[in-house]
Amino acid sequence: MTDIPEDHPRYQSLLTRHRIEEGVEKGITSKQGLIAEGRGEAFDYLLGEETIPSADRAERTAAARLLLADRPVLSVNGNVAALVPGETVKLAEVVGADIEVNLFNRTPERMEAIADHLRDHGASDVKGLAADARIPGLDHERAKVDEDGIFAADVVVVPLEDGDRAEALAEMGKVEIVVDLNPLSRSARTAAIPIIDNIIRAVPNIAEHARDLQGASDEELERIVGEFDREAALAEAERAIRGGDLR
Ligand code: PTJ
């Protein structure tokens, strides 16, 4: 990346690509993660590679909901670990959440590599390795979670999630905060709080809102959550993608 100047118009997107590539090389990100990244990039390009106002509102709402939660958990897959490891650790600290590695393509090697990578970025406790509970309604490998992590959580942040699992978690009664650049994806449509933004921008922005809201009363946080309109957020993102001016 040293030969790409920071003022290159596609700097952020090239940096993201490079991180995903590195993730695959380190055994963190799956090959399917490369395809997922390509799909995400196309949506991001149409969004103007920026956080649109409805996404910023969703991110503030997510911060408020996380601060209200009793047992919040941030779920981490191979793409999230490659793109925002340090930012995820910081967000977990600000809102008092646990971090759990939860993979679509689960192998013991990738679980360990991701947990190590998160520890290298400052995580003290990484869940997901015990796998002593199951999400009902999913096949064996994809259902594995920690009993004292996602299984017991009231609020779960699930970025770049597969639709089946997002639906199964919602069935369990979890409040889901989904980060996904595709407003039409089943995971985004299942979420209580869909965030249609790049994970690279979303995670630090949720943390910034959480810092800002740290002194707020529960009534104020509940007001923010209550005023959020998920249908409007999805519609606004779809409108921006379908009708946006290409820059
Ligand atoms: O690491 P694993 O084994 O858990 O696998 C993770 C992937 C992402 C490969 C797996 O969950 C998968 O196949 O996901 P999908 O079904 O391809 O969905 C990924 C979604 O994330 C798509 O809707 C993309 O548009 C979106 N996406 C991709 N990159 C980003 C993104 N959303 C936000 N930020 C991104 N950087």
Report the pLDDT value the prediction gives residue 140, as an integer from 0 to 100: 77
Query: Mean pLDDT, to the nearest integer, of 188-215?
Result: 97
Report the pLDDT value the prediction gives residue 139, as an integer from 0 to 100: 85
- Cβ atoms of 90 and 74 closer than 8 Å: no
- Cβ atoms of 78 and 114 closer than 8 Å: yes
The answer to whether position 14 is within a domain reads: no
Report the pLDDT value the prediction gives residue 14, as an integer from 0 to 100: 85
> Residue 173: what residue type?
G
Compare 100 and 10 and report the one with higher pLDDT.
Answer: 100
The answer to whether position 25 is within a domain reads: no
Residue nearest to atom 31 of ligand 1 (CA): 40
Query: Mean pLDDT, to the nearest integer, of 77-90?
Result: 98
For residue 126, pLDDT over 90 is answered with yes
Query: Mean pLDDT, to the nearest integer, of 226-238?
Result: 97
Q: How far is the CA of 161 from the centre of ligand 1 (A)?
A: 6
How confident is the model over 140-190, as pLDDT tens digits? 788 999 999 999 999 999 999 889 999 999 999 999 999 999 999 999 999
The answer to whether position 29 is within a domain reads: no
The answer to whether position 43 is within a domain reads: no
Looking at residue 58, what DSSP letter applies? Answer: H
Residues present in the chain in total: 247
The answer to whether position 34 is within a domain reads: no
- Give which of 64, 96, 56 is closest to 205, Cα–Cα: 56
The answer to whether position 227 is within a domain reads: yes
Give me the number of domains the chain comprises. Answer: 1
The answer to whether position 65 is within a domain reads: yes
The answer to whether position 86 is within a domain reads: yes
> Residue 107's domain is classified under what CATH number?
3.40.50.12640
Question: Ligand 1: which of 160, 184, 200, 201 to mutate, judged by most atoms within 8 Å of the beta carbon?
Answer: 160
| Residue 47, both tokens | 């969004």
Q: Which residues line ligand 1 (CB under 6 A)?
A: 30, 32-33, 36-37, 39-40, 43, 77-79, 83, 103-105, 160, 162, 179-182, 185, 198-200
Report the pLDDT value the prediction gives residue 103, as an integer from 0 to 100: 94
Domain that holds residue 189: 53-242
Phi, psi of 72 (to 5 degrees): -80, 145
How confident is the model over 54-70, as pLDDT tens digits? 999 999 999 999 999 99
Looking at residue 245, what DSSP letter applies? Answer: P
- Give which of 57, 66, 43 is closest to 155, Cα–Cα: 66
